[in-house]
Amino acid sequence: MSRKPLLFLLFPVFLLAACGEVEDTRPGKPVAHRQAAFRAMLKSSEPMGIQLREGTYQAETFRQHAEKLAQLKDAPWDYFGADTQYPPSKSDDRLWQEPETFAAERDAFIRAVEALRLAVQDAPEEAEQAAERLKAAYAPVEASCRSCHRRYKR
């Protein structure tokens, strides 16, 4: 094989390799920490949503995810400092221009997670009844995430 076709085939591979995620190189890596905190929260919240949407509610697994999410609910917020709007941040500039609104979004999320945790503790033994009650408690958590992402994530 001549070099031209080989280079033609390898060029897209090199191009894709160059498109990797930007690394957070700032002291303390605040953007990386908050992104990791959100990923950890997603690993707890999404399995609950799947169980409720697909009708595969499992009380113990759901409880574990709700407890983990409650433990993580405060993790990312301290990493939203005024000087943390740089790549790899995916935060929209409005987040920094609307600190009171962002704080209200954060507080709504924290309250929703806590309400979900309490609902899990008080869930009835019967799975179908519990799943219906927990759908109502999970919906504000999901809506809170969606609202904040719509407003503040690029």
Exposed, middle or buried, 131 (CB in 10 Å: 0-12/13-18/19+)?
Answer: buried
Domain segments of the chain: what residues? 29-152
Q: Distance between CA 91 and CA 149 in Å, rounded?
A: 9
Amino acid of residue 70: A
pTM, entire model: 0.83
Identify the architecture of domain 29-152 in CATH: Up-down Bundle (1.20)
Amino acid of residue 113: V
Q: What is the total residue count of the chain?
A: 154
pLDDT, tens digit, for every residue of 92-106?
A: 999 999 999 999 999
Assign 14 a pLDDT band (cuts: 50, 70, 90).
Answer: very low
pLDDT, tens digit, for every residue of 106-128?
A: 999 999 999 999 999 999 889 89
3-state secondary structure of 153: strand
C-beta separation of 108 from 152 below 8 A: no
Handedness of CA 88, 93, 97, 99 (dihedral sign): negative
